Structures are given as structure tokens and as C-alpha cells.
């Protein structure tokens, strides 16, 4: 057997044993008998993982990446990240200390990219309706399409800028900081607290139906159930302004929290919206459980905070300087 084939065979053997160990893992139980997933988790290790398969990996599948290749890739991503941070300056040449912006400076990604379905690692094409919606001015959850203005109204800023919501699943995606999440459980309910934008989702597990379609929420209406040890959460009733990646208000989002070990959960998210994409698609991310000393910290941001009047004040000052004689 050639050295290359031997290496491939050894990798397959190790990977198979690892998958078998994960499949054999059984989560502990709560006093009322549900799988116990409670605790504080983080996705800091996944910071820097691209959502879609990079062009450099064209033709490869996620399972084709060996541990050695992932280690090398993480070294490259760490070097690129730190080189970029070192040369970054905010407008006006002012910036807070780097260690106050980012929680992690070392990449320890578990996957080369996040999209696990379709197999090509790409978000499916938009439908004609989705393309038309994308061309409309966006005043939704993300930062406004033109981050340098003009800012003439609160509507020119996204919900994230306004400290209202970062949306779902955005609130659980790596952002460099604020990447802790706490799963809490009670009999008939689960709740998830997000460090980013201080939001909490309360998820009934008792089989009740979704709310009327007339009721729309920025975080949607979540309903959960157990499939073995996996917590499955189906969320509907989104508002169009907060739906992920410009989806319609009819988006159905299905999350699966699958325990892999005492310290890890695989979080997969499937998006089904025929008004936006030509087919459903899924991404998957590993969540790492923190020790008991970790907690979800306060996110000191609120709607109408100092950033809002400061942004508008700066816009008025810039307009006045550009056109002398113009009143505020």
C-alpha cells in the first residue's frame, strides 16, 4: 500500500472512531428526565470560519479535510487575522485597545466552512422574488447598506446599530466578542440567553402550535421538541426586517442542538423559505461548553443610546461644514 493510501486509511479509521464515540455519547438527564444541555457555551473557536466554501477548496468536501490540513489552515487564518488587526485604524485614527475588541486571537476552527448542505458548501441561489427583495433598500437587522451615511433618520440605521436586535441566528454567530450563550432548562421549556444584544428566547417544549401568522416577532416564534438527545427548535413568524440574509417573513428556521460530548454541542441551522432560496440549506457550527466560572456578561447597549444622537450630530456637522449657511 502506498504512503498516501495508508495515510488516508489511517485518517478514515481515526475519523470513524471519533464519529462512533460522538454517536455513542449520551447526555445526562434533568430531574424530570429531559437531556440536560444546560450551561454556558461559546463559539469563539469558530470565529473566522467562512459561511460558504472558499474558492481555494473548490471540489473538496468538508469531510475531505484531514486534521493536519485543518491545523495548517487555522495557522494561516490566525496569521491573516492578526496581521489585519495590527494594521487596522478606525475613522479619525482612533481605536480602542485591540484586546478590548476581540475575545480570541487564535483560530481553532473545527470546519473549513460552515454550509453543510448543499454538499457544494454554497448558499443556494435566490429566487426571482428573493432577488427583487434584495434590490430594495434594506432597513433591517444588519448595518445599513451605506455605513457612512447619510443618516437623516433612525430608519437609516439597522436594528443592530440601534441596539434592538442582532437577529436569529446572527445573535449566535461569532462576532469577535460577546460570544457566550447560556442554555437554561425548566420542565416543559428551554431558554437561550445571548450575550450579544442581551436577548433571551423562551422555547416551549409542550407541543403547543405556533402563534397566528398575524403575530410577527423580530426573533420569531420558537417551538421545540426532543429527538433522542437532540433539541430541535422550529422558529416561524419572523418580521421581514429581521429575517436572516434578507429572507421573507415566511422563513422557517430549524435548529438542532446535538450533544457531542460533555463539553461540545453541534448546532445546525436549516433555512426553508421558497420565497427567497431555490432550496432549503443548512450550516453547522460547534459550540464549546465553558467551565462553571464563565457567565453571560451584560451587553450595555440600549435603544436610543448615545451612539444615536452622536451619529446624527456628526451628520449635521458634516453637512453644515460642507455647505456654509445651512441651518441644522
How do residues 183-238 score in pLDDT, each as one tens digit? 999 999 999 999 888 889 999 999 999 999 999 999 999 999 999 999 999 999 99
Residue pair 139/156 in contact (Cβ under 8 Å)? The answer is yes
Domain co-membership, 249 together with 328:
yes
Quote the domain boundaries for residue 187: 123-328
Using the predicted structure, report yes or no on whether residue 7 has a pLDDT greater than 50.
no
Q: Please check whether residues 93 and 215 belong to one and the same domain.
A: no
Same domain, 191 and 245: yes
Identify which of 235, 229, 170, 221 has the alpha carbon closest to the alpha carbon of residue 196: 170
pLDDT reading at 179 higher than 60 = yes
8 A C-beta contact, residue 258 and residue 265: yes
pLDDT of residue 306 exceeding 70, the answer is yes
Residue 57 belongs to a domain:
yes
Same domain, 235 and 108: no
In a domain, 24, yes or no: no
Res 87: pLDDT: 54
Spatial CB neighbours of 207, under 8 Å, sequence gap ≥ 6: 225
At 266, list the grid cell: 453541534
Give the pLDDT band (50/70/90) at residue 322. confident
Residues 135 and 57 in one domain: no
Domain count, the chain: 2
% of the chain with per-residue pLDDT over 90: 45
**Which 3 state secondary structure label does DSSP give 71?**
helix
Q: What is the pLDDT of residue 178?
A: 78
Residue 19 falls inside a structural domain: no
Mean pLDDT is lowest, of 89-93, 107-111, 131-135, 138-142, for 89-93
Output the CA angle 231-233-236, nearest 5 degrees.
Answer: 175
Query: Which of 41-55, 213-227, 314-328 comes out lowest in average pLDDT?
Result: 314-328
317 compared with 255, residue with greater pLDDT:
255
Reply yes or no on whether the pLDDT at 139 is more than 70.
no
The answer to whether position 21 is within a domain reads no
Are residues 163 and 64 part of one domain? Answer: no
Do 179 and 302 belong together in one domain? yes
Enter the C-alpha cell of residue 325.
Answer: 449657511
| Residue 8 pLDDT | 42
**Cis ω before 104 (30° cut-off from 0):** no
pLDDT of 10: 43
Residues 68 and 182 in one domain: no
How high is the pLDDT of residue 114?
Answer: 94
User: 93, 113, 133: which is the final residue of a domain?
Assistant: 113
pLDDT band of 160, cuts 50, 70, 90: confident
Most confident among 65-79, 83-97, 248-262 (mean pLDDT): 248-262
* Residue 13: pLDDT over 50: no
Examine the pLDDT at 2 and tell me if it is beyond 90: no
CA dist 301 to 162, 195, 218, 235, 324, Å? Answer: 9, 11, 17, 26, 35
The percent of residues in the chain predicted with pLDDT above 70, rounded, is 80
Least confident of 62-66, 214-218, 276-280: 62-66
Q: Is residue 20 part of a domain?
A: no
Residue among 25, 19, 28 at smallest CA distance from 62: 19
Burial of 10 (0-12, 13-18, 19+ CB in 10 A): exposed
Phi, psi of 96 (to 5 degrees): -70, 165
The overall average pLDDT reported for the chain is 83
Residue 253 in contact with residue 235, Cβ under 8 Å? yes
Of 312 and 194, the one with more pLDDT: 194
| Residue 221 domain-assigned (yes or no) | yes
Say which range, 15-29, 94-108, 238-252, has the weakest mean pLDDT.
94-108
Examine residue 204 and state whether it is found in any structural domain, yes or no: yes
pTM: 0.82
Backbone angles phi, psi at 22, to 5 degrees: -65, -40
In this structure, is residue 31 part of a structural domain? Answer: no
User: Are 94 and 146 in a shared domain?
Assistant: no
Residue in the block written with cell 453541534: 266
CA 12 from centroid of its chain's CA atoms: 30
Single out the residue in 56, 81, 113 at which a domain terminates: 113
Higher pLDDT, 324 or 225: 225
- Which one is predicted more confidently, 229 or 321? 229
pLDDT for position 232: 98
Contact (Cβ atoms closer than 8 angstroms) between residue 9 and residue 244: no
Whose CA is closest to 218, among 159, 269, 271, 267? 159
Amino acid at each position: 500500500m502506498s504512503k498516501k493510501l495508508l495515510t488516508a486509511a489511517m485518517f478514515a479509521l481515526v475519523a470513524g472512531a471519533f464519529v462512533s464515540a460522538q454517536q455513542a455519547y449520551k447526555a445526562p438527564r434533568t430531574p424530570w428526565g429531559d437531556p440536560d444541555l444546560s450551561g454556558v457555551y461559546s463559539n469563539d473557536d469558530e470565529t473566522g470560519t467562512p459561511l460558504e466554501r472558499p474558492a481555494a477548496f473548490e471540489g473538496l468536501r468538508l469531510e475531505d479535510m484531514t486534521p493536519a490540513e485543518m491545523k495548517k489552515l487555522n495557522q494561516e487564518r490566525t496569521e491573516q487575522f492578526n496581521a489585519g488587526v495590527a494594521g487596522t485604524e478606525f475613522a479619525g485614527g482612533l481605536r480602542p485597545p485591540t484586546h478590548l475588541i476581540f475575545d480570541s486571537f487564535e483560530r481553532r476552527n473545527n470546519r473549513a466552512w460552515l454550509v453543510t448542505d448543499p454538499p457544494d458548501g454554497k448558499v443556494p441561489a435566490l429566487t426571482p422574488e428573493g432577488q427583487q427583495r434584495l434590490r430594495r433598500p434594506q432597513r433591517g437587522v444588519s448595518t445599513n447598506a451605506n455605513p457612512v451615511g447619510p443618516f437623516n433618520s433612525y430608519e437609516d440605521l439597522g436594528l443592530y446599530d440601534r441596539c434592538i436586535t442582532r437577529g436569529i441566528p446572527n445573535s449566535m454567530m461569532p462576532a469577535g466578542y460577546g460570544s457566550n450563550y447560556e442554555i437554561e432548562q425548566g420542565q416543559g421549556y428551554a431558554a437561550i440567553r445571548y450575550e450579544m444584544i442581551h436577548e433571551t428566547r423562551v422555547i416551549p417544549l409542550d407541543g403547543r402550535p405556533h402563534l397566528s401568522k398575524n403575530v410577527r416577532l423580530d426573533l420569531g416564534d420558537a417551538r421545540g421538541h426532543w429527538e433522542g438527545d437532540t433539541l430541535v427548535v422550529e422558529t416561524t413568524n419572523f418580521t421581514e426586517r429581521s429575517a436572516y440574509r434578507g429572507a421573507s417573513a415566511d422563513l422557517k428556521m430549524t435548529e438542532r442542538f446535538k450533544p457531542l460530548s460533555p463539553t461540545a454541542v453541534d448546532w445546525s441551522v436549516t433555512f426553508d423559505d421558497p420565497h427567497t432560496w431555490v432550496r432549503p440549506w443548512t450550516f453547522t457550527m460547534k459550540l464549546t461548553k465553558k467551565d462553571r466560572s464563565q457567565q453571560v456578561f451584560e451587553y450595555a447597549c440600549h435603544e436610543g443610546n448615545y451612539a444615536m444622537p452622536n451619529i446624527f450630530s456628526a451628520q449635521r456637522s458634516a453637512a453644515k461644514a460642507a455647505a456654509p449657511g445651512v441651518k441644522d
